[in-house]
Structure 1
Amino acid sequence: MTCAPDAATFRLLDDTVGWEQTEVADLVGFADPAGVRLAHPGPDPDGPTREDLLPWFPDPRLAPGCRPCSWYLVAGRRLLRRDTCTGGWTPVWPRERDPHLRAPRAVAANGHRVAVVDGDRVLVWHNEGDQLVAVIRTHRPRLVALGQDGRILVARAGSTDLRRFTPDGRPCGVLRTGVPGELLGVRVGPCGAVWLLTDDLRVYRDGVESTVESMVDELAAGALVSADENGFCLREPGPDGDHVTTCHTWLGEPADHPPASPGRYAATGQFHTDLIDSGISRCRWHRVRIDADVPPGTAVSVAFVVTEDGHHADSDWQHVPPGITDLLVDQPPGRFLTARVRLSGDTSATPVLHRIRLDFPRTTSADLLPAAFRVDPAADDFTERFLSLFDATLADLDRVIERHPALLDPHGVPDRALPWLAGLLGLTFESGWDAATRRALLAAAPWLYRWRGTRQALARAIRIVFGVEPVLDELADERAWATVSAPGPAPGLGSVRLFGRTTTRFRLDGSALGAAPLRAYGDPDTDPLTAHAHRFRVRLPGPADERAVRRLVTRQAPAHTEATVHTGGAGFVVGTRSAVGVDTAFVPLPPPVLGGPHPLRLNHDGVLRPGPRGARHGLEVGVVSAVGIHTRVS
C-alpha cells in the first residue's frame, strides 16, 4: 500500500543496537531492556534510595519493638516507647527510675531486649527496659544490633568491623566484614546472618554483597516509610483494615505536616550521541520516531543536527518541543546526524526512553509526481512534508497488515492476547487454565473443529486440558440382549444380567399381564439400543475436578447426546462398571501381624497362605494369582 517508490533504511538507538551515548549526565539504563531513565540521587544512581531501604534499615534513632505497632525512639536524652493503644510516645522509665542517659544516638530491640548507644557505652536491658543486664564500654560506638541468640553487635564510627559481645556484655571477638565505606545500618536475620547497609546504599549479607530482593525475602519490613531531619512517618494497618500513615517529630510529638519526601529521581538528565553515520554523502535524513513512556509531570525532548563533516554551530540544532514523538528532520543534507536527548521530571517519577528510530534517506510519494511539481524549492519542500503525513499513515497500515499473521500464532502472542484470539476462534477459556493449556487448545483448534462431535476430538480436548487419557464408553453398546455365546462381540454369561424380551415391553401372545410395561412407540426389538442411545460415559483415571470435566464435555459433545462423568476412586463402585487402571489397582497384601494398634483379624483382614513368591507380591502376569489370596483390589 505504501506509495513511496523505494524502501527507506533506518537506524535504531536502543539497548540492543546501542545508544551511541556520550556526555551522559544523571541517566541510567543504557544496557537495560527496560529503557533509559533518570538516575536516583545519591551514591547509587541505578539502585534504591535511602527512603526505599527505610523499612528494613530504619533511622538509628528508631527501632521496632516486639509487639505490633511498638516502637522505641531516642528523643533528646530520653528513650520513648510508643503506646500501641493511643499511638502516642511515653518515656520507658518513670522519673524515679530514669537511668539519666548522657548522649543517646541509636537504639535497637529484639524480642524483649533493648539496647541504647549512649556516648562511649552501650546499655542493654531485659524485659523492655525493666532490668539492666549489660554495660558495654567501647571507643566511639555508633550502631548496635541484637541477635536472636542474645549476642550483641556494636559498630564503631569510622570502621565497618563489628565488635561482638555476649548477652551479659563480655567481649567475644571482632567480626571483620571487609565491606568498603561506612555503615548506615546493621541487622541480624532470623537465621543469624548479619545484614549491613553502607553509605553507598549497598546491601551485604555476611560480608558478601547481596541484592535488595534477597534482603526482602529474608528480613521483615517495618512500618517506617519516610524520615528527614524534621520527623518521620509510619504506615500501619488501621482498625478497618486500611493502612494509616501517622507522622511525628523526633521528640515524639505529632507532626502537623509530613516530612518532605526527598526526590526519588534527578530533576533532569541528558546525553549526546556520537556521530551517527548514514553511509551516504549529502544524505537527506527523513524522520525521527521516539518510543517512550512519559508519566504525568515528566517529559522527553530531543534535538539533533545534521552535518557532512561533524562540525556544526550551536544555532544549527533543530529543537523538538517536549511531547512530540514523531517528526520530520528539517536539516540540510549531510552524512552524519547527532542527537541530544533530555529527560526531565518532578523527581517523583521518571520517563523511560525505549527506542529512537532514524529513517533515511528521505523517500516520499512526492518522488512519483511529475517534475513540474518540484520546480519551486519552497513548494517542493512543502509537498514533501505534506505527503509525508499520508505516507506515515499508510506505512503504519502496512506494518499492521504485515504483523497480522503473527497475531494468529498461539505460540507467539503474549499471554494477555490469548483470550482475544480464543474469542476470534469461538473458544472459551476457564479461569483455572494456565497459559500453556490455552496455547495448546488454540493450536489444536483447527483439528478439534474438523473432528468436533467425535470420540477422537473429545478425547484430545480432555488430554490437552487435564493431561490424562480418558475412557469413553457408549452405553448403547453395553445394553444388547443377553445371550449365551462364545467370546466375541456379543456379551456372554457373567457380563450382563440375563433377562427375556417378554419382560422388557408388553408383547401379544408373549408377555404376562403385569409383567412388562406397556409402551406404544418404536420397534420393541431395538429397545436395548434406543433406551440408551445418544448416551455415553467419560471416565478419567486419578482425581480430577468432575465439574470442570463435565463443562468441557458439554462444550465438545454433540448437542443431541447426554454424557456422564466419572473420575477414578479408591476402589470398586457397586452397581457401576469399574475399569482396572481407572477405579482399581492390584496391590500386594500387607504382611499379617498379630496385635499392635491395628490388630489383624484372622480369616478377615489377612491371608496366612503365601503365594508363589511369598505373601508380599502382587499380581504377576503368567502366574496363577488369586485375588484375595495373593493380591487385594483397592
Structure 2
Amino acid sequence: MDGDREPALLADLDQWARCRHENTALIPGRGVQLTWDDESPGTTGTVRPDGTTVRPDGTVRPDGTVRPEGTVRPAGLAFDRWGRAYRSRPAEDRIDVIRDGETVTLGGCRGLFDRPRGLAVDDGQLLYVAEGGTGAGRVTVHDVWADRVLRRIPLGTRSHRRTRTVDVVAVGDRAYVLMARPARILVCHGRRGPLPGPRPSPPRCRGPLTPLRIAARPDGTLLLLWRRPGTPYSVVTTVYGDMVAEAAGATDLTVTADGTLFLGLGDGQPFPRHLRQEGDRTELEPVDATGYDGGAVAAAPDGSVAFTTARGIGRTGGPAARHRATGRVVTYRLDSGAYRTRWGRLFLDACIPPRTEVRAGFLTGDDDEPPADALPWQPADRGSFTIRRPDLTPPLPSMALLDAVGTSDGFRPLLRRPTGRETPWAQIPANDRYETYESPVAAPPGRYLWVVLELSSGTVAATPRVRALRVERPGHQLLRQLPRAWSRIEGDADFLQRFLAPAEGMLHELDARAARRDVLVDPVTVPQEALTWLAGFAGLVLDRRWPENARRALVASAYRLFRRRGTPGSLAELLGMYLGREPAIIEQWRLRGLPGGLLRGPAGPDPDDPAAAVLGRMRVGGTTGRTDSGTASAVEDGYRTAAHRFTVLVHDRLSAEQLGVVRAILDLHKPAHTVYEICESGSGMRVGSRLHLGLTSVVGPGARWGPAVVGRVALGGDGVVGVPATGARVHETSVVGEVRVG
C-alpha cells in the first residue's frame, strides 16, 4: 500500500496567501491565526503625516488621533557577551552595570560620562558611549573587560556648533554614531576614526523629521527612527530612506537575531513588532512591556528583548493583543487528478491552546470550469504577502455550496494524533508547539476539493494557529475488496469509507514505515527513541545529557573515532561534539624542556630567592633558562610532573553539568595510565594557570597594528605587549617593568 497516495499540501506562505481569509492573520513561521483588534494596546496601524492613525482596513480611528505622546527619556541599554547589562542614566552622568540582580557603577564613580545616552558593545567587547552633554557631544570608548577608558572622541565641528550625538549602534567590530542637526553618521573602530559613514536620508513627503535612534539588522542594514519635532509622529526607515514601519510616539527600536523589529512606545505601552521576510513586512502581535519608562530597548544575548525601567531593566512578556472570536480560511481548489475521487484524511499541523478550537468543512465537485458564483478572494487582515503569479491561482468554491456547509452541520472537530506526524518516522522537535490533528474528509466523491477551516477562541488572549494542511488523495481502496452490494448505495459507501478509515490508516502508516525502514540505520534520520538502539551496534551507551545532535554525530563517527581511541585528536573531537567547539589538548611532556624563564627582580641570581618574580608557569619556548648544577634534578622532576599528563583547555566557562560530562568523557576514553587536568579559559587567558605563548595564547589581535621595531622601541620602557584595546591584563595592577600586557 505504500506509495499508492500522495497528499495535497498547503504549507508555504504563497499558498496560504491565495486562500480567502476572514478575520485571520498570516504570520511567517506560524501560518494562519485569528487577527487582533486595531484598538489593542501597542497596535500601530498606519500613521498619516497629519498624525491620524488608520486601521489595516482603511478606516480611521473614531477619535481621529493617535494615542498621547509619551515622555521621551533618551537613555542607552546594551549587553556584552557575558550577559552583563549596561544601562545609562543621563541625568546622573553615570552608567549602571547589572548582572545577577546586582548593580554597580561603571568606572566606580559618577561623573565619568557627560550625559550618556546611546550605548553599544561591539564584538571586541568595547563599550561605545554616545554622550550628549555640553558642546557638540562626543563618544567614549570603554574597555569593559579591563574596565578603563580607552579613548574619548569629540565629534563637534566649528561649522556645526548645534550638532548633537544622538545614538550609537555596533555592527561587528565597528560602531555607527548617529548625529543630529544635521543628520549624519560617523564610523568608529576602536582607536580608529571617526570616519564618515553612510549619509542618512529622511523619507520623502513626510515633512521635517529629526533622527532619534539607530539600530541594525542581522545582515548589517542600518535602521533609523525619525520623529517630527513637537509631535508623536515617528517612522522607521533604512539609512537610505526606504520605509520600514510607522508608529505613534515611538521612543526606541531594536532588532533581534531573527530580524524582528521591536518598537518602544511611550511609558509602559506594549511593544509593536514587525517581521521582514522576502521583501514583505508583517506586523506581529504586540508584546507586553510592563514598567517601560520610555528610555531604551535592546536585544539580550539570550534572545529576549530588554528595556529600561525606573529600577533597572525589564523583559518583554507574552502577547498583549485582543484577538477576534472567530475567523475562517477557505482554500483554493485542490486537484486529485481523477474524477469521482474519494478523498482520504485531512492532517493539520496546528497549535490549539485551551479554550480555542479548529473545525474543518469540505466541498467537492467534478466540474472543470470555475464556478459562476465563485467566492471572491480576500487577503488576510494582517501579514500581507506578495503573491507570485496570482493569475495561476485555482478558483475558489461556489458561494452556494459554501453557504450549504455553513448552515448545516458540515464542520467537524479535529482529533489530535497521539503518534505524531503521519509521515513515516517523522519526529516532532521538542521545542515545536505544533501537533498533528486528523479528520476524515466527509464529502461526496469528486475530483476537486475545497477545505474550509473555522478558527474560534473563547478568550481574547489566545488564538489557534494552523501551519500546514495535507489531504490524502485518493483515500483507502478497501471498498474494492468488499462485495459490491455493500457499496452500491452512496450512503452505504460513504459510511464504510469513514468506518474503515482509522484501521486502514494505521495499516497504511505501518506499511509506509516498513518501506522506509532504511532510516533506522542512518544516524541523521533515525528517530530519537531508536537512537540508543542504533548506538548499541557500535557498543555505545549514550549519555542523555548530550544534546540530540551531538549524540547523532557520535553514533555516525563511532567506528572512525574508536580506531584511534585515546589519542589527543580523538579526545578533542569527542569533546568538540559535546561542547560545540573543540578544546585544545596540551600534553605536558611536550613542554618539559629545561626550567622555564624567570623574570627576576633586583634581589640576585639565586632561583630560590623569594625576591625573584616568577610569572606563574609562563614559558616562552621550551628550553629557556639558565643551566646550573640543578639541571639533572629539574629534568627528573619534569618526568615526575609532566609524563603521561595532559591539560584540556576549554574555550568557555562550564556549568556543573557540563563539567561532569567532560570528566565522564575523559575518564572513559583517555588512556588508563594518564592523568588529566581541565582548564577553563572563561573570559580570557589567565597568566599563571596554563599560558604558553604561541601554543595556547596569543597576546594581542595580530597584524592590525604596527609592529615594534628593535632599536626604536625600548622593551621595558615605552613598549606595550599586545594592544591595549583588547584589555588583557596580568593582574589588576601588574606591570612587568614598565610594559603592560594588554
TM-score normalized with structure 2 length = 0.42
Tell me which structure has the larger Cα radius of gyration: 1
Determine which structure has greater relative contact order: mean sequence separation of CA pairs < 8 Å that are 6+ residues apart, divided by chain length: 2
